Amino acid sequence: MTIDLNDFDSSKVVASDRKHVWHHITQHKPFEQNDPMVIVEGKGMRVRDARGNEYLDAVSGGVWTVNVGYGRESIADAVRDQLVKMNYFAQSAGNVPAAFFAEKLIEKMPGMSRVYYSNSGSEANEKAFKIVRQIAQKKYGGKKYKILFRERDYHGTTITALSATGQFERKNQYGPFTPGFVEFPHCCEYRSQFGDVSDYGVRAALEMEKVILAEGPETVGAVCLEPITAGGGVITPPHGYWEKIQEICRKYDILLHIDEVVCGLGRTGTWFGYQHYGIKPDIVTMAKGVASGYAAISCTVTTEEVFEAFKDDASDRMGYFRDISTFGGCTAGPAAALANMQIIEEENLLENVTQMGEYLLGRLRQLQDRYEVIGDVRGKGLFCGLELVKDRQTREPVDESLPIAIAADCMKQGVIIGRTNRSFEQFNNTLCLSPALIATQADLDEIVEALDNAFARLAPNS
């Protein structure tokens, strides 16, 4: 039987999905009562499911990915043309879009130099960890092998990326983990662990230094952090935090690895999140927005200095980076990434994100004035979080059932919003918004109106 993807019976697709597809990060039991949502079409910021329901997507494909919006013909055309001409060759050789995208990307990242291609955020981070481990061998006799990560940050789904993740639900039952990964405390000012202090950012960064000292600086090769924590609660860094983190890394000769899988490619109004904070990273990883989900691509980008360590002298048989990712050689990824970047440039989307981000934060703060349950509103660009609390004084988080109910209510109104995952028994109380970078004021008004209605129904001030 030939399957026509443009002409099919929608009840059949739902039945096939229900019978055979194992959905990601999903409890399947509820499907016994309700059909799975099967998305069939998208244009701009809107998607339609197999049942014909239309939604405004306020989370860019559910997980902050479709930065330039759905239905971009220029990306689809670029990918098609490239695939017909040359679809694949192992990345030990080069290919045309990979070379040109690397050049364009490095133009946006002063101080960085080399691009290593793979397929997912987890994989890009794994590459970074392997680079750090190999540098430990090459330069430090194997000693500087430890990698520090932060509580509440997420770095991916493979066992080692999970080893570097500070979220309980994601990790629970998947251990034992890769040795040599060490957690340090998060920097959420709203959840300040030191009370209300004016130098909170510096205090939070010094928590990292304490862990470095406890482990022994001579054993720590790198720290890996999200510039703004995404799934862990949209945690924007407190003032002074990044300067101090950078200073501590320099002091102990520790590589700074920034995970831009969510913030990269314009989400916060600059090409990369770290560029707001004057950070000079050694390694940057990126994935989701690189090609906005039109093709699978991720990049591990390093400085020339990091790359230099791998310019082996020919006498060392093991001196080069002995890593390969088969589909890192698929040309669809960089072809899509080039077209994606062109859209961001031609449509001035960074500027749009900055303006619309301020507008959205302003509207969300108005909601906060009206609903006691909204304890904190935070974000940067089109990347915002609303933390819900039972009491603004004590900041006691609401039960997880409330953000779930608010998201479900918005969905019924035709707006898809996100929320923090359940990793945090306490802090699974944040609603997340990350609309496409093309969002207009009218789109944002529609999102805020849905939230307003949901709060009015489910959490009116009492």
Residue of the chain from 287, 398, 437, 447 that contacts ligand PLP (CB under 6 A):
287
**CA dist list (Å): 304 to 106, 226, 325:** 11, 22, 21
Cβ distance to ligand PLP smaller for residue 42 or 227: 227
* Least distance in angstroms from the C-beta of 24 to ligand PLP: 9
Closest CA to 114 of 272, 300, 257, 289: 300
CB 37 within 8 A of CB 18: no
With beta carbons less than 8 A apart as the criterion, state whether 338 and 97 touch: yes
Is 226 a binding residue for ligand PLP by CB under 6 A? The answer is yes
CB 259 to ligand PLP: min, Å: 5
Residue 262 as a binder of ligand PLP (CB under 6 A): the answer is yes
Nearest CA-CA partner of 402 in 389, 392, 385 = 389
Instruction: Decide: is 333 part of the binding site for ligand PLP (CB under 6 A).
Output: no
CB 71, CB 40: distance < 8 Å: no
Which of 82-90, 153-161, 238-246, 305-313 is the region at the interface with ligand PLP (rule: CB under 6 A)? 153-161
Q: Is 231 in the site for ligand PLP (CB under 6 A)?
A: yes
| 126 contacts ligand PLP (rule: CB under 6 A) | no
**Distance of closest approach, residue 10 Cβ to ligand PLP, in angstroms:** 28
Least distance from ligand PLP to the Cβ atom of residue 63, Å: 5
The amino acid at residue 337 is A
Q: Which is nearer to ligand PLP, 269 or 418 (CB)?
A: 418
Does position 209 bind ligand PLP by CB under 6 A? no
**Binding to ligand PLP by residue 259, rule CB under 6 A?**
yes
Residue type, 6: N
Got the DSSP string for 402-452? HHHHHHHHHHHTTEE-EE--TT-TTT--EEEE---TT--HHHHHHHHHHHH
DSSP character string of 36-69? PP-EEEEEBTEEEETTS-EEEETTIIIII--TT-
| Residue 132 beta carbon to ligand PLP: minimum distance, rounded to whole angstroms | 16
Among 60, 122, 270, 340, binds ligand PLP (CB under 6 A): 122
Closest CB 288 distance from ligand PLP, rounded Å: 6
Nearer to ligand PLP, 69 or 156 (CB): 156
Dist CA 229 CA 239 (whole Å): 15
The burial class, CB within 10 Å (0-12 / 13-18 / 19+), for 352 is buried
Secondary structure of 303-325 in HEC code, one letter for each residue? CHHHHHCCCCCCCCCCCCCCCCC
Q: Choose between 156 and 238: whose C-beta lies nearer to ligand PLP.
A: 156
Choose one: 29-37, 39-47, 254-262, 380-388; the region binding ligand PLP (CB under 6 A): 254-262
Please state the closest distance from residue 374 (CB atom) to ligand PLP, in A.
24
Q: Rounded to an integer, what distance in angstroms lies between the CA atom of residue 10 and that of residue 38? A: 9
Question: By CB under 6 A, which span of 99-107, 223-231, 238-246, 318-326 interacts with ligand PLP?
Answer: 223-231
* Nearest to ligand PLP of 286, 353 (CB atom): 286
Number of residues that bind ligand PLP (CB under 6 A): 16
199 CB-contact burial (10 Å; exposed 0-12 / middle 13-18 / buried 19+): middle
Minimum CB distance to ligand PLP, residue 125 (Å): 6
Stretch that binds ligand PLP, among 119-127, 197-205, 264-272, 351-359 (CB under 6 A): 119-127
| Spatial separation of the C-alpha atoms in residues 159 and 163, rounded to whole Å | 6
Nearer to ligand PLP, 161 or 338 (CB): 161
Stretch of 69-77, 256-264, 305-313, 333-341 contacting ligand PLP, by CB under 6 A:
256-264
Task: Give the HSE-up count for residue 278: Cα atoms under 13 Å, Cβ half-sphere.
Answer: 9
What is the separation of C-alpha 321 from the centre of its chain, rounded to a whole number of angstroms? 26
CA distance 383 to 69: 15
Distance CA 213, CA 414 (A): 51
> Toward ligand PLP, which CB reaches closer, 42 or 264?
264
Neighbours of 54 (CB within 10 A): 10
Query: Residue 9 contacts by C-beta under 8 Å, 6 or more apart in sequence?
Result: none
Rule CB under 6 A: say whether 261 interacts with ligand PLP: yes
- 154 counts as binding ligand PLP under rule CB under 6 A: yes
Residue 292 found at the interface with ligand PLP (CB under 6 A)? no
- Applying the rule CB under 6 A, the residues between 55 and 74 that interact with ligand PLP are 63
Residue with Cβ nearer ligand PLP (101 or 154): 154
Question: In this complex, which beta carbon is closest to ligand PLP, that of residue 154 or of residue 181?
Answer: 154
- Between residues 91 and 167, which has the closer beta carbon with respect to ligand PLP? 167
What is the contact surface with ligand PLP in residues (CB under 6 A)?
Answer: 63, 120-122, 125, 154-157, 226, 230-231, 259, 261-262, 287
